[in-house]
Structure 1
């Protein structure tokens, strides 16, 4: 036996057995535990309830695919260039998950958690009506506005009036008794931000997913990983479709053939 020890609660294997969380992988988990349940279990280090699984999997579905987004285009273009590297195409798409796309899930969850922590004394009780959260929401939006920062989860480049994922996920969390302080604060921000910003913006799907995951007790700094997990399935679907209905070459040729030269010394050149 080695004198070194590397503790883990996750997977381990011997010549004839694989265990995960101390359970026999083949006999106890395969065919008995869904992938969404297992993913939650791995991140949270605790087995979720059926209600938590439903909310978590709703988040995964909400974030899996959203059309020809930059992440999808990056994956398709990389596959066009290197069809022998499926992993490269997937990685290219995932690397685009940042502050504008996908990363909002983590940004919003962290933002809401920070507001709740800093204003713990002002937080309404759990049985308070929704409107009781409006004052805290106004304070949070004012603080962000005065500091020159955006409120994560507000606005969407396509859904200008309403992101259809937001009310649906709110309802699912409510049905499962899991609409907690992060979702309630986020909902209140949706009701009140116009008083500070002077315009109305929709609560986007990535933001509500972050709020829902935070209410499930997942660490805010791991939430981007959940959105990337979801988008991996979507990107695999994009690549599968590219194989039978390719658009990558058309995208490349359209951009390349419509490129126009700009004098780098041109004062009207905004790239300088």
Structure 2
């Protein structure tokens, strides 16, 4: 390959994307591309695979590529009918996700994603013996355990309490997942007054995360957030879940795998960083907080997304819903100020993590609340992908390693 060692030059990237070199640098500033300096080379170097991903995202297939996806022969590609991200919009099974979030509650959308049927008034419930096992396991956690620690514990305890967990037929997987999602909300310790029996899942989750009585608009916002976060194409946790399903792991194990990959500041925990940043802004003002991030060379939490050139559509809808929540006014204004001040230096838009931070901070939820919402919501997406993978050839997701160690034979250590 010509270019900077194993990377592409700015000129090559511009040609591949069909844009000017100045636009390439704009992509870097928006977090859509990552540039690096190669030792002894002039200019920047770019990862070819990352460039290819962006090219396909913007509808520029590789010359001579095979298939509608524009993937070159032999490149890793996973066919999926769950989610399409196209420009600055995204779709679940061809239906715009934001429209689904405005029209239907989480339980109905999740079940529709699995079954193709929309069931009005559907409620997810867990069997009593499964719920007892999950609650006992969560009660044994140390006091400093987070709600997400509770979710991981529930997944393991619920699996142990379900002797039929190895039935991978679609109807059985649907039933299993409805019970697991219900256990996620109903086994966590209550932070506020429990809702009436048969309440929607969003209301039950609210009382596990916030001591405050929920405003109807706030509940609607949480329910919409759950729908919006169901899936987002092959994110790291979703790919991990598909690998587990490829090995025919049961649904509980698939979800446990997704929860493990979700951990960390670059994926599910990103909303916690935005939450803490927003609390700091509410105390000290946006300018000093944003300035400190820039001075330390850190990205401002809650800004930018590599898949969107404009504002994250999930953030757009949540901000419009949060505008109807009286208690969210101060946090919403603070978030807007962060975006405006940051925009003077880098053209990044708000993402869903900042919107979740507005909701969680204004409702007195812990910093981990956004990650908890993310995990509960994404369980439906992981299972949608697992159902696809169960229908594929087993163990197909087995890449070959490129060995870089010492050549044999080596002396016995």
Give the TM-score normalised by structure 2. Answer: 0.48
Match of 1:77 in 2: 243
Residues 241/151 of structure 1: CA separation in 2 closer, same or farther (3 Å cut) = same
Matched, 1:30 2:197: yes
Structure 1 contact 76–248 (Cα < 8 Å) conserved: no
Residues 1:151 and 2:306 aligned together: no
Q: Which residue of 2 aligns with 1:122?
A: none
Contact 1:105 1:210 in 2 (8 A): yes
Contact 1:63 1:206 in 2 (8 A): no
Which of 306, 321, 325 is residue 172 of structure 1 equivalent to?
321
Retained in 1: the 8 A contact 2:323–2:332? no
**Secondary structure of residue in 1 paired with 2:266:** coil
Q: Which one of 252, 258, 261 corresponds to residue 96 of structure 1?
A: 261
Query: Structure 2: how far apart are the matches of 1:177 and 1:241?
Result: 42
Change (3 A) 1:232 1:223: same
Equivalence for 1:66: 232
Higher-RCO chain (CA-CA 8 Å, sequence separation at least 6):
1
Displacement of 1:77 in angstroms is 0.2
In structure 2, C-alpha distance between the alignment counterparts of 1:169 and 1:264, rounded to whole Å: 53
Compared with structure 1, are the counterparts of its residues 50 and 237 closer, same or farther at alpha carbon in structure 2 (3 Å cutoff)? same
Question: What is the aligned-residue RMSD (CA, Å)?
Answer: 2.7
Aligned length: 216
Give distance in 1, aligned partners of 2:228 and 2:282: 25
Corresponding residue of 1:270: none
Residue 85 to residue 49, structure 1, CA distance change in 2 (3 Å): same
Q: Would the aligned equivalents of 1:56 and 1:213 in 2 still touch at CA under 8 Å?
A: no
Whether 1:206 aligns to 2:371 is no
Partner of 2:370: 223
* Structure with the higher fraction of residues in helix conformation: 1
User: Which 5+ residue runs of structure 1 have no aligned equivalent?
Assistant: 1-5, 7-19, 120-135, 266-272
Mapped to 1, the partners of 2:322 and 2:206 lie a distance apart of: 16
Alpha-carbon deviations, 1:185-212, whole Å to 9, x = none? 11222122132xx321121112221222
Displacement of 1:139 in angstroms is 2.4
Q: Is the 8 A contact 2:226 2:373 kept in 1?
A: yes
In 2, the alpha carbon distance for the partners of 1:204 and 1:188 equals: 14
Would the aligned equivalents of 2:281 and 2:334 in 1 still touch at CA under 8 Å? no
Task: Name stretches of at least 5 consecutive residues in structure 2 with no aligned partner.
Answer: 1-138, 140-188, 408-413
Counterpart residue number, 1:10: none
TM-superposed CA distance for 1:29, in Å, is 3.3
Q: Which residue of 1 aligns with 2:78?
A: none
Contact 2:356–2:370 (CA under 8 A) maintained in structure 1: no
Cα distance in 1 for partners of 2:301, 2:380 equals 24
Aligned to 1:9: none
Distance across 1 between alignment mates of 2:200 and 2:211: 16
2:270–2:302 CA contact under 8 A, matched in 1: yes
Alignment partner, residue 237 of structure 1: 384
Judge conservation of contact 2:360–2:369 (CA < 8 Å) in 1: no
Q: What is the TM-score of this pair, normalised by structure 1?
A: 0.70
